[in-house]
Each structure stands twice: as structure tokens, then as C-alpha cells.
């Protein structure tokens, strides 16, 4: 049972436009959500996170939105740049001590078209 779902395996966006990546989750115990970016042959790199007490977190060009009632989060990148081309993973975790493992989605491959 996939507890974190990224239903779009790939997305292509024109340079300068907004990229929107979506993620859905099923486990109501998740309290903390993260986005990781992955280039080929490298490990995932942390991008941005949000806790369940917030509905928005912004860091430069990256904004994450959380809709708890819909169990949905999204990552907005604006403006999109060629260096943003990568695979993006959504991840979630409970905040219980001793139970902090991350559950990942299957990823969305973002391609920025120059």
C-alpha cells in the first residue's frame, strides 16, 4: 500500500514558468513533510519541509503548500530554471520519537525546457 503517492511520473515546464509538483498521502499519522531533489548518481538533497501545523512554507523560489483535510501537498517552483531539472521526491514522517523514518513517494521527473 503506497502511503505517499506522486501520480505524475514526469513533468515538462518552460524555463521561467511555474512548476507545480503534487503529492498525496493516506496516513493521517504523518506530521512532517519534505521535498527532496535528486540528480543522477547522487543521493537525494533536501529542498524544503513543512510541518502539519502550517499550510505554507516558502524558501526563495520554492514554496510548499499543505492541505491537511485533503491529505495533499504541492511544491511550487517559480521561476523554473534549467538547473531545476531533476527527480523530485515527496516524503513524510510522523513526529513520534523513535519513529522518524521517512516514507517516500515514487518521484516526479521534472524537465525544464530552455
Interface residues with another protein (CB under 8 A)? 4, 6, 31-32, 34, 36, 41-46, 49, 51, 89, 91, 93-107
Q: Of 74 and 106, which has the nearer Cβ to another protein?
A: 106
Q: Least distance to another protein from the beta carbon of 112, Å?
A: 21
* Maximal CA-CA distance, the chain: 45
Q: Which three cell numbers stand for residue 41?
A: 548518481
Q: Of 81 and 106, which has the nearer Cβ to another protein?
A: 106
Residue 61 · residue 44 · CB < 8 Å: no
Q: Of 47 and 112, which has the nearer Cβ to another protein?
A: 47
Residue with the three cell numbers 503506497: 2
Task: Please state, in angstroms and rounded to a whole number, the distance separating the CA atoms of residues 71 and 12.
Answer: 25
Q: Least distance to another protein from the beta carbon of 103, Å?
A: 7
Q: Least distance to another protein from the beta carbon of 106, Å?
A: 5
Residue 21 · residue 11 · CB < 8 Å: yes
Amino acid at each position: 500500500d503506497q502511503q505517499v503517492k506522486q501520480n505524475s511520473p514526469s513533468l515538462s515546464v518552460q524555463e521561467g514558468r511555474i512548476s507545480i509538483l503534487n503529492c498525496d498521502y493516506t496516513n493521517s499519522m504523518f506530521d512532517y513533510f519534505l521535498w527532496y531533489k535528486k540528480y543522477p548518481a547522487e543521493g537525494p538533497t533536501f529542498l524544503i519541509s513543512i510541518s502539519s501545523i502550517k499550510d505554507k512554507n516558502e524558501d526563495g523560489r520554492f514554496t510548499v503548500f499543505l492541505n491537511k483535510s485533503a491529505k495533499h501537498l504541492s511544491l511550487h517552483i517559480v521561476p523554473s530554471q534549467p538547473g531545476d531539472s531533476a527527480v523530485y521526491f515527496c516524503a513524510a514522517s510522523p513526529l513520534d520519537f523513535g519513529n522518524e523514518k521517512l516514507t517516500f513517494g515514487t518521484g516526479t521527473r521534472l524537465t525544464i525546457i530552455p
